Amino acid sequence: MSSSQLLDNSNNVRVGDRVCLTDKRLFGIVAYVGTTQFSPGKWIGVILDEPKGKNNGLVQGKEYFRCEASHGIFVRPAQVQLIENESVTAENSKTLKPSISGLPRAKSDLKSIKKEIARPTATSVSKQTSAREPQLVFKPRPFVKQSASLEKVAPAEGSVSDKERMCQSDVVALDDHQEVEDAELSRIAEEEKDHSCSGELVDPKRPEVADLNDDHHQTTSEGKQQRLSVSKQVALLEREINAAEKQSASLNMSEGVELEYLKSEVKDLSEKLETLRAKRHEDKQKLIDYERCKIQLQQLAEYKSGMVEVHSELQKQLQQAKKEAREAIEARETYSEEMAGVSEAIEMATLDKEMAEERAEMLCQELEVMKDRVRELELELEILKNELNENGASSCGAPTPFQIKQLEQQNERMKEALVKVRDLSVQERATNERLNKELGVLKAEMAELQKKYDRLKLAEEDFENQITELKDQVDHIILLLLLFIVQTTFLQVDAAVGAEEMVEHLTAKNLSLEEELRALMETIEDFEQMRVVDEELQESSRETEKELRMELDRMHGQITELKQQLQLANSRIADRESTIGKFRQQTASLLEQIQDYKDQLSILTEPKKNISNENENLISDRSVLATSRQMAELVDSQLCKIELEDSRRENQFLRIFFSDDFANTGGDSDCIMVNLVFKRLIEKAKLLIEYVNGIFPRVPQGVQREHLFLSHKGEQWSYSLKFIYYLYCLISVLRKCENVLNRCSVERLNKVAQLRSEITAQERLLSYYFNLLKDNNLDENTSLRNVEKLLAFFKQFCETNYTAEQFDSNAVLIDMLSSLLSVVSWLQFELERAKLYLTDTSGSEKLLQLFNKMSNNVGDMEQFLVLAKTKVPKGDDDLVVDNISSHLLNSMSESVLAVENLAKILSQCCAKAASQASMLPDVEGIDAPMMEEFLNDSYLEIMRPEKDESIESFFQFHLKNVVQYCEQLCNTFDENLKKKSAEEKVNFKNLCKINEYAFLRKEIFLFFF
């Protein structure tokens, strides 16, 4: 039989050489050596003997060699070993055929038998020791190389049984004993020994040339033979003794010699028996080791089954991951289909937007046409007026039926345009809501896809960690086994004493180790298969990872595309929202213009109704009077300009004659300026009231629901009434300061004159509003902080400087009545506004009842105040109200403050209702619970009550007190009205103390000059 030798010179591999793959235990022929395109570095292409390869020489479209399918494989040079074949003829052992009949043999036959027995035993022992010595020094090499070396050693050793080893030991003992005894007896003994061993030596020689598979079966039979009991071996020895006695009788030997021979033989056999018993005792320890190895093998088999289960579980998880990937792909396709629908919807919305823009342009054109028509109607109205003035007809002031019909048609067209704009806004709002919902669905799907991707990535990392842990555990177990074997071998070698004992011990140990090695080889083969499965799993996982990464890249690309589409959709939505906002603003402006036209029309029709009831001559007189009045005002304004310039020049000339101390700080000019500043501020406040009334004119029919929900008229009128109330309060305070300054002493006048710079600095706060009027920027959003500061400053000024001074109570009373009337008007408007914000629902009766009660109280209050104001005489009248106490004025101030708080609460409540109504364009009103909530919040913010007083009781209590006070005030005026005395008239004429101060300065001047 030819043996194979593995060489490590893998660098000298050439095409055509026969090689062995060290990691897979496969054999083949080299077909390609060099670099490849699928991976850098040097590769070796091998055609395998078995179909366990991976290709047929074709990799990624390039053919490196040709072979059958699954016979080609590419490996690295380090994984290849070159095989060098040598024909080695094994020595065939001569089989011994013993004589069964028990006839004596010839001496030549005995000698030949002895030589044939002794030679193989010596040679076998020497071969066994030489073959086992290299294996004792166990070096850690790759498992495939060790298996190959063990395969060579196993046939050479030849699975020798226990009986064969007994025969060999017996033969050696007999050779030593025959040196003392004669040759004849030794030949007879050898013949008998050969006869007992020949039958057992024939068969054990055959396993030396047997195959590895037969060797495995022989090891199992040898294991069974080792379990023979000592009694059977003793019986065998007795049969040999009986055979020896028969042979000695047939040869006519003497009984004494035979007896001595048998005694010596029994002694030798007893010694051998003791030796065998000692060996069997050692075999028990080996059996224990065998059982331990068997248990370890079972554990490894269980571990193998566990790894197979883990592998199956990983396969299931992989299938699940693939299934989830397919579901993700299907979801992506579904998402793409939905996005196609979204794109179609966006295109439709774009078309709707274009149509809406066209409609808006048409509406704008119609609006321009309507404006032109209004101008034409105004011109026609002016023409008709002129004609009526010329013709003198009695009913020419009223509009003609044709004009009224034209105006009605125009109003109908504007209503139709308003309805179209409203429908368009509703349609745009519905489209916007639908697009927002689709956008939310797309965001949710994108988040779900991201979660699936994260879950797949975590599962992949878990698979990689488990594979790495399994590899580490397998390597650790193999290393522990190798270390255990090496350490055991070294300890046994060191403990051996003597060459003969070492040989016997090593022989026995080698046999047991062969069994262990075979078991370990099977285990290693199993581990190799497991490693191959692990590599396949790794390759499949790499391919799966590669596919998943490619799929992930595709998904990332799709997500990027979806993000871009989403951004485009968001930009389009923003554009549409801005367009919708513009349409809403345009609609609101149009509605406001329509309401303005209605208000202007009502304002124009109101005087026309009055004009229609009067005489034609009166109309012509009024027109002539109006024309002459305009001319007179124009002439007066020009003359006033001339007189103003003349007064300024006169003032400059007069200052030249005065001394330098006159214009210095604290001089006489300050007294003059202080007397003028209060009067100037009063006149500016009155002028500002006129301008505010002109900017925010009130309509004759009062506030309507359209003013609140279709325009900003409600907020504007509320702002104007609040502004006017603050201005009236400021006039009242300034009038009191002026009155006290006219009645105070000269010393007090000088002290007040020193504060001239502070007083004049406050005038800039009032000038701020005149600057806004010049630029036409005064609206309802303008802050009233300046007028509040101005009012607070002069109130503090009066309390500080005029506490003990006298003043004209009648003049102050008139201004305070005007302030109270203005705040009552403000409160009345806020009540009407709050009632219009309420919806006609079942829960609003209580709140409407409260507002109606308050309106009745405010109406009574207004009647009493108007009556009281008419009863108070003016400054130049002969009548005066006597006995006006400071308590009366303080009570009036408290009443003004109470009504102001009520108006502030209602104003803030209506402001919240307006903001709520502006958030919902189609709302028709505010519900009663929400209105009550707004009212309570405003009450708590403004009043901050310490007790839990309800707002209803708060309103009723204060309104009742103010009404009672107004009624009491009227009665007081009736009781205390009287004529002025002569002294009071003189004091009224000489009211200003600046005259007294000037007279004093004049006397001083005359005294010195």
pLDDT per position as a tens digit, 624-654? 555 666 667 777 777 787 877 777 777 766 6
Indicate the range of 252-256, 412-416, 909-913 predicted with least confidence.
252-256
Buried b (16+ CB within 10 A) or exposed e, 198-234: bebbeebbebbebeeeebeebbeebbeebeeeeeebe
Longest dimension (CA), the chain: 201
How confident is the model over 574-602, as a mean pLDDT? 77
Model pLDDT, residue 48: 92
For the chain, first and last CA: distance in Å? 164
User: 879-881 and 58-59 as β-strands: parallel, antiparallel, unpaired?
Assistant: unpaired
- In whole angstroms, what is the distance from residue 903 CA to residue 889 CA? 21
Model pLDDT, residue 604: 67
Q: Is the dihedral of CA 803, 804, 805, 807 positive or negative?
A: positive
- In whole angstroms, what is the distance from residue 738 CA to residue 748 CA? 13
- In whole angstroms, what is the distance from residue 515 CA to residue 216 CA? 9
8 Å CB contact between 150 and 521: yes
Structure tokens at 271: 């010694």
Model pLDDT, residue 874: 63
Model confidence at 868: pLDDT above 80? yes
Residue ranges of domains in the chain: 3-86, 107-308+483-524, 317-475+550-612, 615-657, 668-807, 809-1009
- In whole angstroms, what is the distance from residue 367 CA to residue 355 CA? 18
Element of type H or E holding 84: strand 80-86
**63 exposure class (CB count in 10 Å sphere: 0-12, 13-18, 19+):** exposed
Which one has a higher pLDDT value, 689 or 458?
689
One CATH from 1.20.120, 2.40.30, 3.30.1580, 1.20.1410 for 809-1009:
1.20.1410
Model pLDDT, residue 33: 92
pLDDT confidence bin for 549, thresholds 50/70/90: confident
Kindly report, residue by residue over 6-27, the tens digit of the pLDDT: 444 445 788 889 999 888 888 9
155-169, 280-294, 323-337: range with highest mean pLDDT: 280-294
Kindly report, residue by residue over 308-361, the tens digit of the pLDDT: 888 888 888 888 888 887 887 887 788 778 777 777 777 787 777 778 778 788
388-402, 492-506, 799-813: range with highest mean pLDDT: 799-813
Closest CA to 360 of 414, 312, 424: 424
The amino acid occupying position 978 is K
Model pLDDT, residue 125: 33
Model pLDDT, residue 378: 79
pLDDT confidence bin for 60, thresholds 50/70/90: confident
Model pLDDT, residue 371: 81
Kindly report, residue by residue over 460-480, the tens digit of the pLDDT: 677 677 767 766 776 777 677
Closest CA to 912 of 797, 802, 833: 833
Q: 674 Cβ partners below 8 Å, 6+ apart?
A: 741, 749, 752, 753, 755, 756, 759
8 Å CB contact between 905 and 939: yes
Model confidence at 412: pLDDT above 70? yes
Indicate the range of 116-120, 279-283, 757-761, 860-864 predicted with least confidence.
116-120
Indicate the range of 146-150, 736-740, 955-959 predicted with least confidence.
146-150
Structure tokens at 291: 């059982």
8 Å CB contact between 530 and 307: yes
pLDDT confidence bin for 429, thresholds 50/70/90: confident
Structure tokens at 987: 């004091």
Kindly report, residue by residue over 781-801, the tens digit of the pLDDT: 899 999 999 999 998 888 887
8 Å CB contact between 707 and 595: yes
CATH number of 3-86: 2.30.30.190
How confident is the model over 730-753, as a mean pLDDT? 82
Kindly report, residue by residue over 980-990, the tens digit of the pLDDT: 444 444 444 44
- In whole angstroms, what is the distance from residue 200 CA to residue 204 CA? 7
Alpha-helical regions (H) of 754-843? 756-774, 785-801, 809-837
Model pLDDT, residue 843: 65
Model pLDDT, residue 997: 60
Q: 3-state DSSP: the chain helix, strand, coil percent, rounded to 5? A: 80, 5, 15
Please tell me the pTM assigned to this model.
0.42
The 8-class DSSP code of residue 920 comes to S
Model pLDDT, residue 72: 92
Q: Which residue has the tokens 């002569």?
A: 982
Model pLDDT, residue 161: 38
Q: Which residue has the tokens 């009502």?
A: 602
Q: 418 Cβ partners below 8 Å, 6+ apart?
A: 587, 590, 591, 594
Model confidence at 204: pLDDT above 50? no
Closest CA to 193 of 244, 254, 121, 233: 244
Model pLDDT, residue 129: 34
Q: Is 62 helix (H, G, I), strand (E, B) or coil?
A: strand
pLDDT confidence bin for 177, thresholds 50/70/90: very low
How confident is the model over 26-39, as a mean pLDDT? 90
Q: Is the dihedral of CA 816, 817, 818, 824 positive or negative?
A: positive
Model confidence at 890: pLDDT above 60? yes
Instruction: Report the 10 Å Cβ neighbour count for 970.
Output: 18
Model confidence at 140: pLDDT above 50? no
Which one has a higher pLDDT value, 898 or 670?
898
Model pLDDT, residue 173: 38
Model pLDDT, residue 216: 41
Kindly report, residue by residue over 648-703, the tens digit of the pLDDT: 777 766 666 666 666 666 566 777 788 888 888 999 999 999 999 888 888 777 78
Model confidence at 621: pLDDT above 90? no
Query: Number of H helices and number of E strands within the chain?
Result: 23, 10
Instruction: Report the 10 Å Cβ neighbour count for 694.
Output: 10
Per-chain mean pLDDT for the chain: 71
Model confidence at 490: pLDDT above 80? no
Residues, the chain, total? 1009
Indicate the range of 143-152, 429-438, 451-460, 480-489 predicted with least confidence.
143-152
Q: Is 27 helix (H, G, I), strand (E, B) or coil?
A: strand
Long-range contacts of 29-37 (CB under 8 A, 24+ apart): 30/80, 31/57, 31/64, 31/65, 31/67, 31/72, 32/57, 32/64, 32/65, 32/74, 36/62, 36/64, 36/74, 37/62
pLDDT confidence bin for 909, thresholds 50/70/90: very high
- In whole angstroms, what is the distance from residue 530 CA to residue 780 CA? 87
Model confidence at 165: pLDDT above 70? no
Model confidence at 725: pLDDT above 90? yes
